[in-house]
Structure 1
Amino acid sequence: MSTEQNQSSFQSLGLNDNILRAVNECGYTTPTPIQEQAIPTVMRGHDLLAAAQTGTGKTAGFTLPLLHNLSLTKTESKPVIRALILTPTRELAAQVEDNLNTYAKYTGLKSLVIFGGVGINPQINALRRGVDILVATPGRLLDHSRQGTVDLSEIDVLILDEADRMLDMGFIHDIKKVMKLIPEQRQTLLFSATFSKEIKALAQQFMHQPKLVEVARQNATADTIEQRVYPVDKKRKRELLSYLIGSRNWRQVLVFTRTKHGANRLATQLSDDGLPAMAIHGNKSQGARTKALAQFKAGKLRVLVATDIAARGIDIDELPHVINFELPQVAEDYVHRIGRTGRAGSEGEAASLVCVDEHKLLRDIEKLTKNEIPKEVVPGFEPDPSIKPEPIQKPRGSRPNNSRRAPRQKRPATRRS
């Protein structure tokens, strides 16, 4: 959200005074485009299908009107769950809950976040005390449902956040199970980075005459992001990365790798180079992920190395640097990755270390974004022209490049968000 004055303001959107008070305390005065379009639509009770890239302020686009509407009918009795927000990852769930706590400060509305990787008993106790809004990952929500510890029969509003990523992660069957647990008469809000065929099919199945909001052209990258490619041999990538971070005094650097093992190895190597680094990915405990993210946000950790799925939900104001240590095998994921910098008008830098094996991936990205990315060869790191490209090993569970794969038929039973 912007602090600059503009023709529009949060007050002009009709939000109640308790919510405006919390928003003003955050220093926000002017809604972003997604907020300006989504908030009045949600307040009027319409279903909403919204396409918004990471960093556009979409979370406030649904939490603010949700809090407004629930405040109108709040009672003094024990709260019951009236709104359910589903997210694909633990980090995103925690981020949404953090936003809710900030904006609900003066409303008296209670929210709770539940996800896997932590004890279930404290969540059960909190549910018994009563909450108005539940934020959840699908796996842990269904765990509670099977144990009879969550009642979704009073749901008025369902919100699917980053629905495209939920489909990519194979959650479609879990989503369908959740739909059977909640009333058919409800308001449904679906937020996605793009309007893919799968998203449109999901909307047609579960929504009633949704209003459409799209704030950025599909697969666009923000003008505030300076993109650059550094050609380098694969074996010298880590050396070049350390050199760039150190010689250019980069701080708070988010680095992407394709695999969990690669993230661990790179974090260890960077730390050995004197650049404090930690890795986050699906095999890390929730405590380790939370600790690494907190240290990174606070500026105590210089480099955070992440896989694509673990990075969902990383929401840091004015994050200056995103580095693709390896290009993603799906071109759309490049847009998601670099969208974590250059947010809400801030300037950011996105650098990609590209070896000969990745030239086709780079061409796919440039074709998708309709943008030729400037190249810079760093003296001393010139690529060896005699090296021939080798096939890139696909991580387990990956999907073909430049395609939104169909959701998996089954998700391993041990995988719980």
Structure 2
Amino acid sequence: MAPSGRAAKSSKKRKRPVDVPAPESEMEKGKEDKVEEKQKRKKGRGAGILTDKLFSDLPISDLTARAISEMNYTHLTEIQAKSIPHLMSQSDVMGAAKTGSGKTLAFLIPAVELLYRLGFSPSNGTGVIVICPTRELAIQTHDVAKKLMKYHSQTLGCVTGGTNMKPDVEQLAKGINLLVATPGRLLDHLQNTKNFKRQGKEILFQLGCACLIIDEADRILEKNFEEGMKQIFKRLPWDRQTVLFSATQTQEVKEFAKLGQGKDRKLIHVEVDETMATVEGLEQGYCVVSSEKREEEKKIMVFFSSCNSVKFHTQHLNALKIECCEIHGQIKQQKRNSTLSSFCGADKGILLCTNVAARGLDIPGVDYVVQYDPPDEPKDYIHRVGRTARGDKGEGRALFFLLPEELKLLIYLKAANISMKEYELSKKDEQELQPYLENIVHGNYFLKQSATEAYKSYILAYNSHSLKDIFDIHQLDLKKVAASFGFRDPPKVYLGLDSSASKHRNKKKVHGSKRHGIGPSNPYGRNGGSRRFARF
């Protein structure tokens, strides 16, 4: 992998306002200066996502306020300022906010306060359920809730798929007041775990559930959990509070919100300014590189299109004595959790991943998000770059590589309010680097096998791209693609694709014949009398 181009980072120190006596004639100018200074302070905190509203002004318990203070939060983000008042009054809310805007705290603070006000205890069972589409997001949401509930007596738990159900059952038997769960595991417990079906004496709710929160609702629909969610809705009381949050809003999400809402309850829509699709503190750019040219102490995430590509590049970098870690769908859940935890706690490092890490995960301090393989859609781009410039720091850089024939993708991104500038890669030592990388691959049998699988997966992923007018498999220079995986010549792999399509796409069809040459004048195909039979 060749070093990527980086833009120079610039920062300006914020000047503190100085109070000086002003003549009465300058009162007008003084007011204007205060407004301007207020805007500067707002811009300086969190790159524009923070407001001038304080957590200390919220009507919340001292226990919650103390926990928030220890989490070093002072000002509310826009989505928090707009949604928390409605949620505190137990209204049904559908929140739309870009990733990294603070929506997790937006729904957790009212949830914790609800349990506190109702006086929930373990004997009352579950009062709030938070549903997350992935195990990683559920674990991170649980971790945030744990900090928020530090001084509360209410109980907290997390149940996700891919783990043994026995510990879950034991937790639920003791009583979990705030439960974070993935859809499949939650439905399993609702259907089969008797101790979960508990009704509190003081609380007039079946199961004790007063509030259902669905995070990343659009992702839940994308993963085809809709039928399972319908079953969950049926098993929860209709007079509950229902909350949905999502980074993107579609008609399907809106219909899904209505489906999960109780009767005779009004749904309040809360949105933030979406004139920019990504947060203001994110500097974005792209590099145009040919396939064979793709390869300081920073915290970097690199996205690939397939698990095999992640595995190969991890092994390749390790062979170059560059330490990095990996997350993808073929890694066991326990290993993914430990890797994610280590990367979150690190000040520097490289994480190679697939889209499994693109949504919802709050990974602090990411300096660069590099998209080695371009996203399938603009919304995927937004979710990927949302791993940097998060929270009140609000600074980061996003970079993605494009082949020259893929530049049309920029039109789609611009239509989604994503603007960026082009960075040029340094050409120094390019001619020396490629042979060096090829020697490493060819000198290691296992690395060569990994490169072959990655090469195959890359082409298959490219062929499955939804934007066929941009990502045309027949326009790929396979020799250069192979070079990017350390091959001098494309390896022989079976792809199951029509390899003749590229060769013949520009040729005019002969009347009465087809690409394979079979027609009235030649019933056996191009090879004349040598018959070919298909096996079915």
TM-score calculated relative to the size of structure 1: 0.85
Give the corresponding residue for 1:253.
Answer: 300
Quickly say closer, same or farther: Cα 1:375–1:300, change in 2 above 3 A.
Answer: closer
Structure 1 segment 17-416 matched on structure 2, within 5 A:
17-76=62-121, 78-149=123-194, 150-151=196-197, 153-207=207-261, 208-217=265-274, 220-238=277-295, 249-299=296-346, 302-344=349-391, 345-380=393-428, 393=459, 395=461, 400-401=466-467
Quickly say closer, same or farther: Cα 1:96–1:185, change in 2 above 3 A.
Answer: same
**Alpha-carbon separation, structure 2, partners of 1:398 and 1:139:** 27
Question: Matched residues, percent identical?
Answer: 31
Larger deviation: 209-218 or 285-294? 209-218
1:377: Cα distance to partner? 3.2
- SS of 1:8's partner is strand
1:361: Cα distance to partner? 3.0
1:230: Cα distance to partner? 1.6
CA contact (8 A) 2:121 2:153 kept: no
**Alpha-carbon separation, structure 1, partners of 2:219 and 2:276:** 15
**Alpha-carbon separation, structure 1, partners of 2:349 and 2:465:** 31
Amino acid at match of 2:422: P
CA contact (8 A) 1:366 1:373 kept: no
**Alpha-carbon separation, structure 2, partners of 1:286 and 1:397:** 29
User: Which stretches in structure 1 are left out of the alignment for 5+ residues?
Assistant: 239-248, 383-391, 403-417
CA contact (8 A) 2:297 2:348 kept: no
Aligned residues: 383
**Alpha-carbon separation, structure 1, partners of 2:189 and 2:136:** 19
Higher relative contact order, structure no. (Cα contacts within 8 Å, ≥ 6 residues apart): 1
Quickly say closer, same or farther: Cα 1:83–1:75, change in 2 above 3 A.
Answer: closer
Quickly say closer, same or farther: Cα 1:370–1:306, change in 2 above 3 A.
Answer: closer
CA contact (8 A) 2:80 2:102 kept: yes
**Alpha-carbon separation, structure 1, partners of 2:134 and 2:463:** 17
**Alpha-carbon separation, structure 2, partners of 1:146 and 1:46:** 28
**Alpha-carbon separation, structure 2, partners of 1:121 and 1:218:** 47
**Alpha-carbon separation, structure 1, partners of 2:231 and 2:460:** 31
**Alpha-carbon separation, structure 2, partners of 1:211 and 1:398:** 38
Larger deviation: 364-373 or 249-258? 364-373
**Alpha-carbon separation, structure 1, partners of 2:88 and 2:463:** 39
The CA deviation string for residues 214-234 of structure 1, in whole angstroms up to 9 with x for no partner, is 113166122211112122121
Amino acid at match of 1:317: P
Amino acid at match of 1:121: K
1:168: Cα distance to partner? 1.0
1:20: Cα distance to partner? 0.1
Q: Which has the higher Rg, Structure 1 or Structure 2?
A: 2
Quickly say closer, same or farther: Cα 1:218–1:141, change in 2 above 3 A.
Answer: farther
Quickly say closer, same or farther: Cα 1:366–1:3, change in 2 above 3 A.
Answer: closer
Give the corresponding residue for 2:452.
Answer: none
**Alpha-carbon separation, structure 1, partners of 2:376 and 2:369:** 17
CA contact (8 A) 1:252 1:303 kept: yes
**Alpha-carbon separation, structure 1, partners of 2:272 and 2:46:** 19
The CA deviation string for residues 7-60 of structure 1, in whole angstroms up to 9 with x for no partner, is 421122211111001111112111111111111110001000000111111100
Larger deviation: 6-15 or 354-363? 354-363
1:289: Cα distance to partner? 0.3
Quickly say closer, same or farther: Cα 1:3–1:379, change in 2 above 3 A.
Answer: closer
Amino acid at match of 1:119: N
User: Which stretches in structure 2 are left out of the alignment for 5+ residues?
Assistant: 1-41, 198-205, 432-457, 469-536
What's the C-alpha RMSD, in Å, of the aligned pairs?
2.5
TM-score calculated relative to the size of structure 2: 0.67
Quickly say closer, same or farther: Cα 1:155–1:396, change in 2 above 3 A.
Answer: farther
**Alpha-carbon separation, structure 1, partners of 2:99 and 2:168:** 28
- SS of 1:227's partner is strand
**Alpha-carbon separation, structure 1, partners of 2:403 and 2:425:** 12
**Alpha-carbon separation, structure 1, partners of 2:462 and 2:223:** 12
**Alpha-carbon separation, structure 2, partners of 1:360 and 1:396:** 15
CA contact (8 A) 1:277 1:304 kept: yes
The CA deviation string for residues 118-146 of structure 1, in whole angstroms up to 9 with x for no partner, is 21111111111101011110111122233
Amino acid at match of 1:289: R
Give the corresponding residue for 2:436.
Answer: none
Amino acid at match of 1:225: L
